[in-house]
Amino acid sequence: MLIAIGSRSVCQSDCSRTAYANVKKVININGEIDAALHYNDTLPLIGDARLTLLKLLTELRGFPSKSQGGPSAWLKACAGKKREWGAFKAERYSHPALYDDTWKKQALTQPAAIKIAADWAKPKDVIKFFDAGDVQANGFQVVEDESYGRTFTETGASYMGFAVSALLATSVGRGKFYALAFTGDGSFTMNPQVLIDGVQHGARGCILLLDNRRMAAISGLQVAQYNHEFATSDSVEVDYVAWAASVKGVLAMEGGSSEGELTAALDKAYAYDGLALIHVPVYYGADPLGGMGVFGRWNVGNWCQETQSLRHNIGL
């Protein structure tokens, strides 16, 4: 059985419906009717997921435990997988920079840069916005909030430029707050208008531009699916710091290639009363320590015959 909670059930979460090969029944807790009925053989629980889960927990606590003398085998297996995942992340955080062939120097990995910035944001109660793409794919797995409403993203709908545009909320919202927009070079290029709008409307926040000179999410999926990447990178050099600095009122700077340099840049942006942009060259390459990995089978570009066959055979 699959229990889906708040999922849009797009390829990012279910590998084009092939992630759950053994699933026959589904319980879907969702506020959207269409999303709740996405799979066959589904018991939909439609409404606020948090309130629904609280109600379910209250009911479940009324049943006696079937395990005696400690956690069940299933719970132990889950705990073991969680430890594996913790070790997987820790190994990447312990190698924050790798040599990059494009930049011809050491560059922060995307997971490390996101981890550094997210840890910096937490004690300051800085709101985080995530753009579509590889930044978002890594952010889903790196960010560990302890309070509700501290991270916002467009949940895999691929609205490039969402995060940087969302910075306008710092000036037009009902309450003033500081925000950090995590974006890639591609997503930022889709909506650089925020540099002008942000100054015009008094936005106070920072654009953290993680630049790998490619559409890294698609590159990774192409390699995982086809063992080859195609048309997802370019050789054009863009000086994003000069671009941002050309707009009077924007503080623009480089974020460096280490935790200390990036943290110092974030501190400088936070102290600035206005809109800032920090450009960080990030690693892209074959080293597995450079990312959080690409898992499962996805229909990327032209549909894959194997994925389509599995999808129809599984019947979800």
pLDDT tens digit string along 113-129? 999 999 999 999 999 99
Structure tokens at 316: 């979800």
Structure tokens at 170: 């710092």
pLDDT tens digit string along 109-165? 999 999 999 999 999 999 999 998 889 888 989 999 988 899 998 876 778 889 999
Q: 26 with 42: CB under 8 angstroms? A: yes
Question: Which H or E run includes 242?
Answer: helix 240-245
Q: Lowest-pLDDT range, 1-15, 45-59, 112-126, 247-261?
A: 1-15
| CATH architecture observed for domain 97-285 | 3-Layer(aba) Sandwich (3.40)
Q: 197 with 267: CB under 8 angstroms? A: no
Q: Lowest-pLDDT range, 114-128, 195-209, 295-309?
A: 295-309
Residues of the chain with CATH 3.40.50.970: 97-285
Longest dimension (CA), the chain: 67
pLDDT at 77 (0 to 100)? 96
Residue 234 has pLDDT above 70, yes or no: yes
Q: What global pTM score does this model have?
A: 0.89
Phi-psi category of 37—alpha, beta or left, where left has phi over 0 and alpha has psi -120 to 50? alpha
DSSP 8-state code for residue 289? G
Residue 259 and residue 22: Cα distance in Å, rounded?
43
Residues in the chain: 316
